[in-house]
């Protein structure tokens, strides 16, 4: 796991590097806001530890600009103890907040907790207003819960994981029933029809690709094309 530390306190950074390395993390350190933002934008980190009081660019600005392009987990780390700063930090997109002075072991525990939450979120699929959670087997369309059968859920998951690409009826049949589709077997079409009705979205979400199968619309543009065909 790669951690980016953005803090102008060199002594603290050395201490954090020691503790995090001991726990198996790979760390990179930047001592100013502008440099930290650039590293976070251009490199692949699993989590960012971000101080608020930074030279060149304050942590709030770094966080707001980072959130325009990335959902990398961020723990705000600062000497400021005011509740208002904590609220602003969390509202700006921080995943957690820890005030200085602190116990490095607590920071490691918080990092692991945030990474666990992030891993759980990554298991979810969010496409074109539809959210599917394989862990809880819940589906939401435009924020509204959708009740699906087991087969409907499995078909929707397969289509959403391939969003923007056609999935053949044979592939769906093989995944759901472990056999190929016959010319007269319309069970997949029936389940897709039920899915479309239950999603009840004011746009096309599942397109029929003639001679091929079905495609989950990846964007509103895809939905518009599906409505026109």
Q: What are phi and psi of 178, to 5 degrees?
A: 60, 35
Per-residue pLDDT of 15-64, as tens digits, reads: 999 999 988 899 999 999 999 999 999 998 999 999 999 999 999 999 99
- The residues pairing with 215 across neighbouring beta strands, listed in sequence order, are 166, 207
Pick the CATH number of 125-228 from 3.40.50.1110, 1.25.40.10, 1.10.150.170, 1.10.10.10: 1.10.10.10
**The predicted structure's pLDDT at residue 184:** 52
Delimit the domains of the chain by residue range. Answer: 2-123, 125-228
**The predicted structure's pLDDT at residue 229:** 44
**The predicted structure's pLDDT at residue 137:** 85
Please provide the CATH number assigned to the domain covering 2-123: 3.40.50.2300
Beta carbons of 36 and 62 less than 8 angstroms apart: yes
Order of strands, edge to edge, in the sheet holding 206-209?
A: 166-168, 213-216, 206-209
Beta carbons of 192 and 168 less than 8 angstroms apart: no
pTM over cut 0.75: no
**The predicted structure's pLDDT at residue 228:** 42
Residues of the chain short of pLDDT 70, as ranges, are 80-86, 177-185, 224-229
């Amino acid at each position: 796991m790669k951690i980016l530390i953005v803090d102008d306190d060199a002594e603290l950074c050395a201490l954090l590097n020691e503790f995090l390395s001991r726990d198996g993390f790979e760390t990179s350190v930047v001592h100013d806001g502008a440099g930290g933002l650039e590293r976070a934008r251009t490199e692949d980190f699993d989590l960012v530890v971000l101080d608020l009081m930074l030279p060149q660019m304050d942590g709030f600005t770094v966080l707001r600009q980072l959130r325009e392009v990335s959902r990398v987990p961020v723990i705000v780390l600062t000497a400021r103890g005011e509740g208002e700063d904590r609220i602003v930090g969390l509202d700006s997109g921080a995943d957690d907040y820890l005030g200085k002075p602190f116990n490095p072991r607590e920071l490691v525990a918080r990092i692991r907790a945030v990474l666990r939450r992030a891993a759980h979120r990554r298991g979810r699929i969010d496409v074109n207003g539809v959210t599917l959670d394989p862990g809880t087997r819940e589906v939401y369309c435009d924020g509204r819960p959708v009740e699906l059968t087991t087969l409907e859920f499995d078909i929707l998951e397969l289509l959403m994981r391939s969003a923007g690409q056609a999935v053949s009826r044979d592939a769906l049949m093989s995944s759901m029933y472990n056999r190929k589709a016959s010319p007269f077997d319309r069970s997949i079409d029936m389940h897709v029809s039920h899915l479309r009705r239950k999603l009840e979205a004011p746009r096309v979400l599942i397109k029929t690709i003639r001679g091929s199968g079905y495609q989950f619309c990846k964007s509103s543009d895809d939905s518009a094309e599906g409505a026109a065909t």
